[in-house]
């Protein structure tokens, strides 16, 4: 898969001084430069603030915010049947149809050989490490490593004290399914500006028990109608936390804890409830990209399974919900319909 490589595929090496394709230095942060190397891509419609550019024939894709600067290079190096079976048709669109069969190396070494021993000893879903200003995430193959993924957490922790997990990964024929390389220089720490300190309410606020429903309300009021502020921006928020700064793009399948806490704690004035006349539940909603910037829609992170009468009571003008993404559970749908709210979309 990676050691020898398909001679018909370009070789890719990522080292401290950059990315080389067939030995030639390429600006891997430029969509245009990558297009010159890999040919014409398939560009998807924006998903929140992220646009995906895909080169199907070589198994490569990049994420970009502006269509020009690539924020991460993703190389599919093996198929993972178990993960693939869980993806729906929409999720598959974001991934290349082909697999990269060339020689991918990190500073001249196969990716697993480049991974630190300490990271390999605690292997589970992925391996994460840095080489200079480059950060690598190696997504492990759940099909090849079924024994590892079937382990209970307690057993994995015990084995992580030895080389057992590392040896399991090293001995697999195709241990890695996707390699993600991102150029992330370590930035100097600045003091927080205070911009993202939660507002202190001086009026009555809404108390919503369902967090996913709260997100739908916030998306409508903060991102669609823009009657609430500050309008949350996860990238600005992440770089304005001083020593607690973080990289939002490291979150693929889990909500960013500090963002979740901010959105849960944000005071929604009761007086704006009447402005909510309709809600659109779509995977491309801006608020979802704040919580999981690289979310691909493959899980139920934002599903609204139930909505209580307590949560619905303030929204007397809510008349319509468009459930484009199939987020509403049966009980939530019935709760809305009981209050005369018309629900369109998936059932």
Q: Say how far apart CA 332 and CA 335 lie, in whole Å.
A: 5
Q: Say how far apart CA 63 and CA 127 lie, in whole Å.
A: 20
Tokens of 102: 């060339």
- Do 101 and 5 touch, CB atoms closer than 8 A? yes
Distance, C-alpha 311 to centroid of its chain: 28
DSSP assigned state of 11: P
Q: Parallel, antiparallel, or unpaired for β 18-21 and 24-26?
A: antiparallel
Give the pLDDT confidence score for residue 3 in this predicted structure.
45
DSSP assigned state of 187: P
CA atoms within 13 A on the CB side of 5: 18
- Do 280 and 255 touch, CB atoms closer than 8 A? no
Tokens of 109: 């070494």
Give the pLDDT confidence score for residue 243 in this predicted structure.
82
Give the pLDDT confidence score for residue 347 in this predicted structure.
65
Averaged pLDDT, groups of 10, the chain, 347 residues long: 64 95 95 96 89 96 93 96 88 93 96 96 94 95 93 88 94 96 84 93 96 98 96 95 86 90 98 98 94 83 96 98 95 96 86
Can you state the angle between helices 257-265 and 211-218, rounded to 10 degrees? 70
Element (H, E) at 226: none
pTM of the full structure:
0.59
CA atoms within 13 A on the CB side of 129: 18
Phi, psi (rounded to 5 degrees) for 342: -80, 130
């Amino acid at each position: 898969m990676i050691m020898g490589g398909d001679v018909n595929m370009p070789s890719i090496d990522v080292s401290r001084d950059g990315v080389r394709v067939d030995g030639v230095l390429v600006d891997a942060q430029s969509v245009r430069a990558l297009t010159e190397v890999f040919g014409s891509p398939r560009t998807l419609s924006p998903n929140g603030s992220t646009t995906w550019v895909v080169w199907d024939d070589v198994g490569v894709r990049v994420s970009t915010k502006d269509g020009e600067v690539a924020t991460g290079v993703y190389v599919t190096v093996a198929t993972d049947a178990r993960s693939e079976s869980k993806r729906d048709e929409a999720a598959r669109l974001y991934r290349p149809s082909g697999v990269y069969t060339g020689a991918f190396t990190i500073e001249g070494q196969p990716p697993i050989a480049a991974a630190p021993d300490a990271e390999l000893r605690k292997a589970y879903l992925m391996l994460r490490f840095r080489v200079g200003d480059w950060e690598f995430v190696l997504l492990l193959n759940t099909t090849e490593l079924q024994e590892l993924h079937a382990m209970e957490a307690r057993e994995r922790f015990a084995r992580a004290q030895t080389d057992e997990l590392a040896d399991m990964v090293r001995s697999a024929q195709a241990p890695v399914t996707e390699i993600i390389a991102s150029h992330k220089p370590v930035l100097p720490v600045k003091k927080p500006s205070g911009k993202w300190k939660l507002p202190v309410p001086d009026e009555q606020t809404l108390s919503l028990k369902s967090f996913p429903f709260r997100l739908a309300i916030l998306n409508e009021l903060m991102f669609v109608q823009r009657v609430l502020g500050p309008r949350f921006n996860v990238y600005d928020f992440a770089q304005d936390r001083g020593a607690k700064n973080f990289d939002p793009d490291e979150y693929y399948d889990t909500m960013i804890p500090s963002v979740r806490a901010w959105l849960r704690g944000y005071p929604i004035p009761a007086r704006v409830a009447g402005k909510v006349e309709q809600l659109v539940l779509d995977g491309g909603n801006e608020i979802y990209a704040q919580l999981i910037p690289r979310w691909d829609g493959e899980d139920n992170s934002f599903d609204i399974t139930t909505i209580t009468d307590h949560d619905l009571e303030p929204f007397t003008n809510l008349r319509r919900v468009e459930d484009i993404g199939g987020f509403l559970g049966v009980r939530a749908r019935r709760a809305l319909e009981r209050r005369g709210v018309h629900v369109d979309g998936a059932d």
